[in-house]
Amino acid sequence: MNIKDKKILSDVRMDRAREFLADAHANFKEQRFRTAVNRAYYASLSAIRALLILEGINPETHEGVLTMLSLRFIKTEILPVHIIKIFKTLFSKRTDVDYGDFDTTSSADAEESLKSAEEIIGAIDIVRKKLIAETS
């Protein structure tokens, strides 16, 4: 994949991240807290995938995304370590709400997930824009 195609795909994934985040907020307002947590996680996942593709990295699993983000951007201190920590927490919450038969999610849990997703997306987009500028 050439750099132009990587940038296009990165933009598509970042647009999807923003759409999923808007969905998370809408679900939160409608008190669908489990769905808000799910959408917040997927917003973050899409943003991270938008960043990774710029490096030619395209993991096929959630764990692969986590591993590659850690190796390429956390260990190299391009992104702060707390980004991976809050992403892991979002992943865990998303797993609970999607697969936990008796899971209950509070307004506070969902709100925390929204804030985490906003922080991840913001940090990712800053780095993503720098990478795009460096290759232009």
Report the mean per-residue pLDDT for the chain.
95
* Residue range of the domain that includes 47: 3-135
Which pTM value belongs to this model?
A: 0.95
The confidence score (pLDDT) of residue 14 equals: 98
Q: How many domains does the chain have?
A: 1
Task: Report the alpha-carbon distance of residue 75 to residue 108 in Å, rounded.
Answer: 31
Kindly give, in sequence order, each residue whose CB lies less than 8 Å from that of residue 83, ignoring residues fewer than 6 positions away. Answer: 69, 74, 119, 120, 123, 124
Average pLDDT value for residue range 85-114 = 92
Residue of 26, 68, 62 lying closest to 44 (CA atoms): 62
Dig out the tokens for 119 from the structure: 């922080």
Q: What percent of the chain has pLDDT over 90?
A: 92
In Å, how far from its chain's centre is CA 42? 6
- Tell me, what CATH number does 53's domain have? 1.20.120.330
- Say what angle helices 3-29 and 107-135 make with each other, to 10 degrees: 160
